[in-house]
Amino acid sequence: MHPSHGLRAVRVGSVTGAGLAGWQANSGRSLDFVRKVPVRYWCPQGHETVPVFADLTEAEIPQSWDCPKCGQTAGRERGLLVQHSGDEPFKSHLDYVKERRTPAEAAEALDRALTELRRHRTAPG
């Protein structure tokens, strides 16, 4: 077995300094004797991330983790929003379109489209 097998989830040089690599660097102890503790995080999008830490105390486990799928901050409780101030939540183009358009405008746009459709149907040729 390759020595690094299974440790790929640990981010080297993470901002918190936590994680197996940081722990090993700080303690000088071999990872072979360390209990590995997977910690679950959920981002606002519902992605689940499970980085593996060395045998940390509760206080040493980071309260948040960057989601590797969408880059948002994941918290240790599902549905808990942990966000840096100034960060815009991820929105698709469609979300922005939906926001700009009120239900009345949407209905009007649909009505216009239907009228256009009927006109094409009844038009000769």
Asked if 45 is part of the footprint of Zn ion (rule: CB under 5 A), the reply reads yes
Cβ at position 103, least distance to Zn ion in Å: 29
- Contacts (CB under 5 A) with Zn ion, residues 49-88: 67, 69-70
| Binding-site residue set for Zn(2+) | 43, 47, 67, 70
Distances (CA, A) of 36 to 33, 48, 69, 97: 9, 18, 23, 45
Nearer CB in complex with Zn ion: 10/67: 67
Which residues are annotated binding-site positions? 43, 47, 67, 70
Residue 79 beta carbon to Zn ion: minimum distance, rounded to whole angstroms: 13
Q: Work out the angle at residue 50's Cα, subtended by the Cα atoms of residues 17 and 30, and round it to the nearest 5 degrees.
A: 50
d(CA 67, CA 40): 11
Q: Are the beta carbons of 50 and 19 closer than 8 angstroms? A: no
Q: Which residues contact 21 (CB under 8 A, 6 or more apart)?
A: 7, 10, 11, 12, 13
Instruction: By CB under 5 A, tell whether 26 contacts Zn ion.
Output: no
> What minimum distance in Å lies between the beta carbon of 65 and Zn ion?
10
User: How far, in Å, CA of 121 to CA of 119, rounded?
Assistant: 5
Q: Among residues 20 and 67, whose Cβ is nearest to Zn ion?
A: 67
Q: Which of 11, 24, 39, 47 binds Zn ion (CB under 5 A)?
A: 47
In the complex, the residues that contact Zn ion under the rule CB under 5 A are 43, 45, 47, 67, 69-70
